[in-house]
Amino acid sequence: MSDNTIFTGAGVAIVTPMNKDGSVNYDKLGELIEAQIRSGTDALIICGTTGESSTLTDEEHLECIKYAVRKTAGRIPVIAGTGSNDTAYAVEMSKDAEKAGADALLLVTPYYNKTSQRGLAAHFTAIADAVSIPIILYNVPSRTGCKIEISTYKELSKHKNIVAAKEACGDISFIAQLAAETDLTIYSGNDDQVVPIMALGGKGVISVASNIIPKEMHDMTEYALKGDYKKAAEMQLKYLSLLKALFCDVNPIPVKEAMNLMGMEVGKCRLPLVSPEESKIGLIRSELDKFGLLK
């Protein structure tokens, strides 16, 4: 593994389980982390979008990172989501995550206020200058309204701490260009595009689906890493309908619903996210049943 590769394979974008009163359920988080490691998951991404970082208090956000670092105890890398649309805030959260023992950072593009490409370069550089651990840039324009262009990626890739991209733009041609024109490690940010992105040189996925099928997502990436794209593609296609069901509503609503249907008792999402309507619950239940995942 090269020095700038944080992990290869399937990293889980883990949910943040909640108690009935809406507080973070740390005991359950510990159970989930242990189950992920047992299932072969290659990295733990804590406090990302799937972890409801936008509705965690600063204290909860940092405690989740500290807890994940303690619980994994160096067995797999812990990647902390510390991105923000406020650069100063992201700098402080990133410094705190590094102090807490995170192995790397996941930085989403600024959202709502957005920014220009020059602004993106300045934003990510300010954060990268403030820490000494590796950074994965997260490009998800469908959620943020802000896209990292190739020229900006090229500029940012010169920074010693900016080593990877989580690509969820959905555009395979764009990702091919990114692979051709930079030496960034690329991770799929979309569970339904893992194999095509890895065929272009991607090193794995930061996965929502790994919350419910961790071994399968690990195995899919393992086949691709070994060059067996036939088997990897078979798995990608086999689970395609399940992966689609996990995005029938705003992430992480469906995956938390799925985990609860599987008996994992991860609680509800925090407002403004609410439980899916009955038709979507039916779809999720049907897909889980198809793969023998229901409790």
Active site residues: 138, 166
Cα–Cα distance for residue pair 258/239, rounded to 1 Å: 14
Q: Which amino acid is at 172?
A: I
